[in-house]
Structure 1
Amino acid sequence: MPFNIWCGGCNSMIAKGVRFNAEKKQVGNYYSTKIWSFTMKSACCKHEIVIQTDPKNCEYVIISGAQRKTEDFDIEDAETFALPADEERGKLSDPFYRLEHQEEDIKKKKEAEPVLVRLQHLSDARHADDYSLNKALRAQLRSQKKRVAEEEAASRKMGLGIRLLPASEEESAAAGRVKFPPKFDRNMKDKRALIKSSSIFSSSSVSPLPSNKRRMELETKRRKIRAAAASSLLTGGFKPSSWSENSGSKGGRHRGTLVSARKS
């Protein structure tokens, strides 16, 4: 798009420089120059826009489907010069008007000459020593690269994949004003203790650790089993378990050895 336009379908702006797939065809001639027409569809609402070339004024003309966006700006703020209008261009053919216009230009030049000379001297002083300027620029780039490398190393130590910006006083003050709930510290300690007690191997080779609730249930069951075993021992109704069978088998072997020794 050669200029900013307003789409006629949805009234949205299409910026200058946006590319379209357009149908190009010749619709006329201006002397020996062809007049081309471009038909395209806007991406926002599929509205058809038709634009033609204007060889006479070296411009593009919107035929249908859109409206050109008029942009006004102040010449002083934009730091540009105002081009003479068509009427001014016609008057420049008059010798007397051209002489008066030339006198005004010379007067403006004399008024702006001290500023231009001062700017030229300042530019010459800044760019007189190319070696010093190059040296200062290279030193600045080296310090910048060193600072970036230090920030990336600090981020890698914290396990981050992005580079953090330097800390500021405003961020420190804002972080100090944040108040976490009272359970936060306890949960953080529990999670750290669980992480420290977990295995360093992957979860595929080692079964995952039970949760806090599941762990408490297992501890309760173990206590009940131990209490039942202790009560059975006290009452004499001992039911051998795996470890008691092993100990009983060992004791049986010893008793068998003693009986055979007595018989012999």
Structure 2
Amino acid sequence: MGERKVLNKYYPPDFDPAKLPKGKRARDEQMKVRMMLPMSVRCNTCGNFMYKGTKFNTRMENVETENYLGIKVFRFYWRCTGCAAEFTIKTDPKNSDYSMEHGATRNYEPWREKEVVAAQTVQQREEEERGNAMKALENRTLDSKREMDIVQALDEQRSLNARHEQVTADQALAALKRTADGHESTELDPDDEEAIKRMLAQQGGFGVSWAWDSTVEQIVID
């Protein structure tokens, strides 16, 4: 078995590697590569679906006429598992992805569409801000406001969670029992009272005065 697998080779004592002719490789020579399908595709000839991760014996070649910032673009030749029709896929170094060339159709991938839209939005914003200081200042102001709103919402959520953590199971059961018996007090928490005041003050253009009782709340509108 060792000789069949050619694990060892015999070199005679008078062997001179300088006398060996140098092999020449054609520029457009194709290389056989075994790789997985990088995307889910459908054959345009027979309609067969081939899914991402399926292993194929492919032929790879360098696309001499294309490159991206000096990075080579490679083309892979595949064959459909249903009808043996050939289709090709190229590398896309610009987007760190692969692109379908011909012979098949790439399946729709919603997450990929979101990434493309996000990249286009960033590129459009950079083009708008290029040479326009006012637009750049406006975008930065909107970003700062958005960040402040997010931080404020997180602080409010943390405060609410902290208040909920202080309530024990016995207190929650006692509150439910009082509610069922009809003896639950209608007095609001000071924080909730202040929040309601601010909400009503923002909704109405008139003054609001409050008269709170131990058992019932009354709103008196001036």
Shared fold (TM-score, shorter chain, > 0.5): no
Report the structure number with the largest CA radius of gyration: 1
Q: Normalization by structure 2: what TM-score?
A: 0.43
Q: Which has the higher contact order (CA 8 A, sep 6+)?
A: 2
TM-score normalised by structure 1 residue count: 0.37
Going by fraction, where is strand more abundant, 1 or 2?
Answer: 2
Which structure carries more helix by proportion?
1
